[in-house]
Amino acid sequence: MSIEVRGITKRFGDFVALDDFNVLLPSGQLTALLGPSGGGKSTLLRIIAGLDRADAGSVSIEGVDATGLPAQKRDVGFVFQHYAVFKHLTVAKNVAFGLEIRAHGGLRPPWAAQRRADRARIDRRVAELLELVHLSQFADRLPSQLSGGQRQRMALARALAVEPKVLLLDEPFGALDAKVRKELREWLRRLHDEVHVTTVFVTHDQEEALEVADEIVVINDGRVEQIGTPDRLYDEPANDFVMGFLGDVTRVNGQLVRPHDIDISRVPLLAGAVEGTVARLLRVGFEVRATVLTDDGEEVLVQLTRTHARAVGLEEGVTVWLTPVTGAATVPALPSMRSAG
């Protein structure tokens, strides 16, 4: 099932959040909407979900025009950054909530045979989901008794409970610490491979998008900068913004290149190598970051391992030559690079 967004424009007063935005999100895959804060990612997600209305344009879900449909008619599951859980309900009851609402709004008297059948079906579904998200042992706990990562897994289980056609995640791991975020994004990738529901998630964390997504849509200033697989975007960035947003960049000979894609040596190895002086060495764990001042006045950052730095004989004050490695991704450095933050 695909999601097609055509000509979506959304303004908040004088601020243009989305500007004639077009994208097709293929079915069954995990797509990341990646970009800086204020770029339009969350606005797009909320418009797809039906939580916000666009000023112009259309949204189709599985070939059906959903532009005018309310959120509850779009068959989507939505997970917010801050969980939006029912604090007074247990984990199991939080997950069951949407199922109970769907079962005729809970209007049948408790002694009705169909109500009992509904209850048994809901209990089975909740048990399956809690096992899927590894929370079976916490079914009777309140949300306040869970860790942040566990609460987010509960929120995902609740969104999946009604078997949505589309799962939408708005910065799902943004409120968690770095270690828990890494664990959860690995878990999300495995979960998606099990359930295969079309999933779209918003993030400003490029590492998260590169690690988890099948496809990335890079968004900036309400427009699409580039769409592609993580490998394609990293290796073949369309412009300076995409290259800068997907990782550190530095400038050599008028080209933007990644700091780990620069060969540094004590003698010129190739014609066109840039000469400079090591102004600073910073050792961070296994990595060494060398700041080189070139004879042309550029300040170049080079990243290499400690082993490599020792082999080259890097020290502050020594003369070195810099060359982008063969096959390195490069884009022309514009006189005034657009912000990638």
> What pLDDT score does 82 carry?
67
- Residue in the block written with tokens 């590169």: 210
Contact call for residues 312 and 266 (beta carbons, < 8 A) = yes
Q: What is the pLDDT of residues 221-248, one digit of tens each?
A: 999 999 999 999 999 999 999 999 998 9
Q: For residue 251, is pLDDT > 70?
A: yes
Q: How far apart are CA 181 and CA 201, in angstroms?
A: 14
> What pLDDT score does 218 carry?
97
Q: What is the pLDDT of residues 291-303, one digit of tens each?
A: 999 998 899 999 9
Mean pLDDT of 153-179: 82
Q: How far apart are CA 81 and CA 279, in angstroms?
A: 42
Q: For residue 72, is pLDDT > 60?
A: yes
Q: Would strands 30-34 and 215-220 be described as parallel, antiparallel, or unpaired?
A: parallel
> What pLDDT score does 115 carry?
58
Contact call for residues 291 and 278 (beta carbons, < 8 A) = yes
> What pLDDT score does 185 carry?
82
C-beta neighbour count of 82 within 10 angstroms = 13
Report the range of poorest mean pLDDT among 15-24, 42-51, 128-137, 277-286: 128-137
Sign of CA dihedral 298, 304, 306, 310: negative
In 35-79, which ranges are E strands?
56-61, 64-65, 76-79
Strand partners, 203: 34
pLDDT level of residue 338 (50, 70, 90 thresholds) = very low
Q: Between the CA of residue 162 and those of 167, 208, 254, what are the distances in Å? A: 11, 27, 53
Q: What is the pLDDT of residues 90-124, one digit of tens each?
A: 999 888 887 877 665 544 555 455 556 677 888 88
> What pLDDT score does 111 carry?
46
Q: How far apart are CA 282 and CA 259, in angstroms?
A: 14
Report the range of poorest mean pLDDT among 110-119, 151-160, 211-220: 110-119
> What pLDDT score does 101 carry?
75
Q: Between the CA of residue 111 and those of 88, 115, 121, what are the distances in Å? A: 25, 7, 16
Tokens of 111: 């002694």
Is 229 in a helix, a strand, or coil? coil
Contact call for residues 36 and 223 (beta carbons, < 8 A) = no
- Could you give all domains of the chain from N- to C-terminal order, each with its CATH number? 3-240 (3.40.50.300), 250-324 (2.40.50.140)
Contact call for residues 202 and 208 (beta carbons, < 8 A) = no
Q: Tell which wins on pLDDT, 69 or 84.
A: 69
Please state the pTM of the whole predicted model: 0.82
